[in-house]
Amino acid sequence: ITSNFILNSYHLKKILSISLNSEKEHILLSNKLETDILMRFAATKQIADAITFVGIKPKINFILIAIGNKTMLDKLYQKITPYTIEIFSKDNSSFLKKHFKITKKQLDSISSKNPLEDLLIEKGAILI
């Protein structure tokens, strides 16, 4: 996922939770879990749009999401650690507000400690 589309760990975990639960309930937006995750971060039902906006691009930081058993994930982590940078070091809130056309009025109407995150999660959750 292009790192610009992930606000923080709360946002990341909630979207992944939605996709994993959708897989468990056999209600994915597409045939593959990874495509469902892309679509939910992009908040679109169009696979091509999700890939265009959220898919990785040359010379742009991205976040690798790996799902599997602990042993395999530990091995992967050891291999990629030399190539990693600090996650969530950049505040993407302005980019996300602009991309999704989120206004201050919309954010002010949400009673939450994390209004932007919750709005982005809702956008990803309501896709059917």
Q: At what angle do helices 115-125 and 9-24 cross, to 10 degrees?
A: 20
- Tell me 87's DSSP state: T
The model's pLDDT over 12-59, given as tens digits with 9 standing for 90+, comes to 999 999 999 999 999 999 999 999 999 999 999 999 999 999 999 999
The model's pLDDT over 8-17, given as tens digits with 9 standing for 90+, comes to 999 999 999 9
pTM beyond 0.85 = yes
Half-sphere exposure of 77 (CA within 13 A, CB side): 8
Positive or negative, the Cα torsion across 82, 73, 58, 92?
Answer: negative
